Chain A
Amino acid sequence: MKLSSHKRAHKRQITLEMTSMIDVVFLLLIFFIVTASFTKTERDLDAVTKVNEKSSAASETDLEPAIVLLANVDGSWVYQIGTNNLTTFAELEEVLNQFPNKEDGAFVRAPDAAPYGMAAAAIQACKNAEFPGVSYVPLTPQ
């Protein structure tokens, strides 16, 4: 027994109107493509801040700890370790790598007028030289 005719079944085909949906989807796609901004990867430099650090006398060994001072010498900023004035990041990294006492950590002392980029580079150089702790010492005139 035939319950439904072939003709009847053929007429029941449902067609989904997708034009408007595609319009909206394309609009959203173009919006996100235009507004997307790909940011560069950020990482952290963790440093301990020593605000009341008057001197580096808290050393556990007889050797002096590494103190990187940002100093203005003849109008240009340099990294100063002891009496050595270092102008580039590579030089600083080399000196810090050869530093005999790494146990007491390193101190980066930055005056207010110093460029922050150099202070960050000094902290990075100390981290690269595998000092166990790097302290940031702000030098503000009293």
Chain B
Amino acid sequence: MSSAESKVRTEKPADGEAGGAVLRMRGIEKRYGGVHALRGAELTIREPGVVHALIGENGSGKSSLLGVLAGSVRPDGGTIEMAGEQCSFRSPVDAVARGIAMVSQEIAVAPDLTIAENVLLGHRLVRDRVAGVSPRKSRAKAREILDGLGLDYDPGALVRDLRPDQRQMIEIARAVSMEARILILDEPTSSLTDDEVDGLFTTIRRLKAQGVAILFVSHRLDDLFEVVDEATVLRDGQTVCEAPMKELDADRIVAEMIGDAGAVAAKRGAARRRGPRDRVALSVKGLDVEGLLREIDLTVHAGEVVGVAGLAGSGRSELLEALFGVRPSSGTVEVEGEPFRPEDPRASIRAGIGYLPPERKTAGLSLQMSVRDNLTAIHNLGRLRLASPRRRQENEVAGRAASAMGVKTASLATPVGALSGGNQQKVALGRWLAVEGKVLLLDEPTRGVDIAAKWEIHRRLRDLADEGLALLVSSSEIDELGELCDRILVLFRGRQVAFLDREQASEDRLARIAGGHL
């Protein structure tokens, strides 16, 4: 869709109050070379103590807008007001001084320093006049801040020993200690387990109660409906919707994001047409991975989608890794009746097994290489290494895979790293379509992908199953499993505790079993 066609529908209640909103960004413009990333974007947080979501597809300008607010991106135009006062940020330091703190996705803590040192990073450790920095007093000060957030961490412990969610809390504590009035949380839940997400939300509610406004970015609908009060939707660098969360539902949000209500239904797609066949594609008996998985039995039929549910650490990812041969295991595996020993990715691929790793940037794609090279990588494995690639044939193979997955790219020669997250994920998936596979192992197939792209990937996965591929899908999102899968295997601490049919697998029941209750 072109930006000229898309109509801006801004629902803006009259704001006549004199004091001014906590934050008001107006007409923000930003160009990068020829790309117009922000075209007069607006963002208003009226009151302190609200959780405000910023929603948009990958590439809609969210990053730039947050960057402008956090002082790391210089806008080309527009105004920022805080409490009625005009501000301009030349650097992140300016923004911090005005009480804006950002907790980014890549967690910025120093692992070899203590919790207290991390919380008070940046000249805020408590000093004695003679003895220099006082660890004891610094810890006491950090203790106070952590107590305020309801965290019982030991301020003297090293950050190295913390889980990712705890490290994130340390960053939040740091922001709080700088007396942030606006806290930006950028996809804070993307790598957390459900329990950890609950912990985060508890902290968010405490901050709310203390009058901190929170700007929240997330691709997960669950997050939005649970903790968010109001939302701003960005599309093509413009603000297309500002509304309280209670006026929004999933379909409306996606419609605003992609700007075309008809496309929403198409992306959501129809239900499965065919369902599983009689042929067993993958059969696993007594699979053990030392210390991680015990006695896993499962079968996946051709045309079937089997889900793997479980908390982080339950062995979900490890099961797929073992089946693809990147993690040593013992047990019997058969692919279409043929015995198969998973030991080496290369042999697995030859046996017809494909694997989509959970982290596309670090494991799934060669980001600096072109879309074409990435899409044909698997297809070309059988070729002599000193042979020359045939451009025309490759274009054909890559073109077919790209259109089968609906990859949006300027050209096949574009480096994959230049694509949006959703499109990258489609390429990571599409490379497996260029070969005749039998089984596809998918770990978190829609992680870090916006909702519209997620629905589209779901639809395409169902199409793949209908064409006779066997899919084994591991996901931390239970609604994803419910939507995709015919049957769901539930793991708890490395053991399989249930194998449910789609009809038996309500979200509540799955969550209960995955948590170790029956």
Do chains A and B interact in one complex?
Answer: no
Q: Please give the residue numbers on chain A whose beta carbons come within 8 Å of chain B beta carbons, in ascending order.
A: none
